[in-house]
A = this chain, B = another copy of it.
C-alpha cells in the first residue's frame, strides 16, 4: 500500500538520451498490458478510482487506484497485490460482476534520476510520453509538497515546459479519445 505522486507530458521525441545525459540511470525496458475494469455497482470513473490488472511478462498485478488529491501533480493511493495467474484473475473478477472496459498497452523504458522514476512510454494509440513519478511508502502527506517540487525540477531539467505537464491518466486520455472519435462519426 502506497501513494504515487506523478506528472506526465506528451513529447515529440524519445528523451532516453536526454535523460541519461542529465544523470538518469537506465533500469529496464518492459511491455505492459493493462486491463481496466468496470465495477458492478459503482461508477469508478466518477469516483476517480480505478481497478487495473497488469500483465508485465509473466508477472501479474492487481491494483486499486484511489481518487486524486491535490493539484499540479497526480497523487493517489495505490493498493497493489501480485496475482498468480491472469486468466484466473479475469475470470474471478468477471464472476463477481466486474467487466473489462479498456486495455492499454505500452512499451516503457525506466530510468532512475535523483531518486525519481522517469519513464519513456510508447502508448499504443496515444503516442509518446514521459512520466515522472515518486512512490511514497508510509511517508506523511506533508512530505508531498517537496516531492511535487522535485518532479517539477526534473521535468525542467529534461526541457519539458510546465504547461505541458498533465495529471491525466492514460486511461482518461484513451476514454476521451475514443468518445471524441465517436462524436466525429
Could you tell me which A residues sit within 8 Å of B by CB distance? 1, 39-42, 49, 51, 62-64, 66, 79-85, 87-89, 91-92, 95-97
Contacts and interface: CB of A to CB of B under 8 A. Distances in A.
Given A40-B42, A96-B51, A83 B80 contact: no
Contacts of A80: 88
Contacts of A64: 91-92, 95-96
B41 A92 contact: no
Q: How many copies does the complex hold?
A: 2
Contact of A1 (B40, B63, B83, B88): B88
Contacts of A49: 95
Contacts of A85: 81-82
Contacts of A91: 1, 64, 79
Nearest to A77: B95
11 contacts: A1-B87, A1-B88, A40-B40, A42-B96, A42-B97, A62-B83, A63-B92, A64-B96, A66-B95, A79-B91, A81-B85
B81 A92 contact: yes
Contacts of A66: 95
A82 B79 contact: no
A127 B50 CA distance: 42
Contact of A40 (B41, B62, B81, B84): B41
A113 to B, nearest CB: 28
Given A79-B92, A80-B88, 15 more contacts: A1-B88, A39-B96, A41-B41, A42-B96, A51-B96, A62-B83, A63-B92, A64-B95, A79-B91, A79-B95, A81-B85, A81-B92, A82-B84, A82-B85, A83-B83
